[in-house]
Amino acid sequence: MLEFLKAVLFGIVEGITEWLPVSSTGHLILLDEFVKLQVSEAFYEMFQVVIQLGAILAVIVLFFHKLNPFAPKKTPDQRKETWQLWFKVVVAVVPSAVAGLLLDDWLDEHLYNFVVVAVMLIVYGVAFLLVERRNAQKKTAIATVSEIDYRTALLMGAFQCLSLIPGTSRSGATILGGIFLGVSRPAAAEFSFFMAIPTMLGASALKLLKFLMERVQAAGTEIMVLVVGCVVSFIVSLLVIKGLMEYVRKNSFRIFGLYRIVLGAVVLLYFVIKTALAG
């Protein structure tokens, strides 16, 4: 029962932070300091990525009609537009897919630590404040997702590569990149959600494959933890995505920038004190 409740908590944190530009990895690392799952190290490394599957399913459910080129109620032009949207998404995820495949092991070994997470939280928090200030008086050139061209999609994909560094936030990097390129906040957020589908499916599949290839046996409790975490992250993501889309239509991302800076400082201070006390 205790592990079940822990899995629920991890699912809630994942469902909230995956879509807000605040770094789900940073929050999961911090949560793991206080709520330890009784699982193997190999399983946890896989779990913190594969738990994203629930969050992905939420995007598919919420935007199913828009993403479905075979919807019977769509006109031929609308179906064509849907296919074009998918082609743009594919183009956008190519840079991070290539970089992720080449650098996955190196990133796990060298960058998954509290210093990198804390620094990236602060750096991108400042970046959000600067970009929002820069764009405050500027009119966006791209108001809707359908107006995003292949060049802009590819450049947003290049920004997504930055999210390979833990603490950056995948949604944060792509939304920030979109806003910097002249895309409206709602369009940047929505396209970021669509980019997440192949990106997170690929990342989850890669981690799961590596886990299976290591021939590590998952205990029954570990499987339950993964299933519960995914289900909870799905339910929470449904609410968060709806809420975020409503929020960005009327507000800037400045509050998230400030939150990232404060959280980054807290993470850095906490681990510095912990390391000092341990020494």
Tell me the per-residue pLDDT of 95-142, one tens digit each, with 9 for 90 and over.
988 998 888 778 777 787 888 888 999 999 999 999 888 877 777 789
Residue-wise DSSP of the chain = -HHHHHHHHHHHHHHHHTTTTT-HHHHHHHHHHHS--SS-HHHHHHHHHHTHHHHHHHHHHHTHHHH-TT-TTS-HHHHHHHHHHHHHHHHHHHHHHHHHHHHHHHHHHHT-SHHHHHHHHHHHHHHHHHHHHHHTTPPPSB-SGGG--HHHHHHHHHHHHGGGSTTS-HHHHHHHHHHHTTB-HHHHHHHHHHHHHHHHHHHHHHHHHHHHHTTPPPPHHHHHHHHHHHHHHHHHHHHHHHHHHHHHTT--SHHHHHHHHHHHHHHHHHHHHHHHHH-
Average pLDDT, whole number, for the chain? 89
Tell me the per-residue pLDDT of 74-88, one tens digit each, with 9 for 90 and over.
999 999 999 999 999
Instruction: Inform me whether the pLDDT recorded for 272 exceeds 80.
Output: yes
Q: What is the mean pLDDT of residues 161-172?
A: 88
What pTM was computed for the model? 0.86
Q: What percent of the chain has pLDDT over 70?
A: 98
pLDDT on residue 91: 96
Tell me the per-residue pLDDT of 255-266, one tens digit each, with 9 for 90 and over.
999 999 999 998
Q: Give CA–CA dist 194/62, Å, rounded.
A: 11
pLDDT on residue 216: 60
Structurally, the chain folds into a number of domains equal to 1
Tell me the per-residue pLDDT of 188-217, one tens digit each, with 9 for 90 and over.
999 999 999 998 888 888 887 877 777 666
> Are the C-beta atoms of residues 143 and 79 closer than 8 Å to each other?
no
pLDDT on residue 139: 76
What range defines the domain where residue 200 resides?
A: 2-278
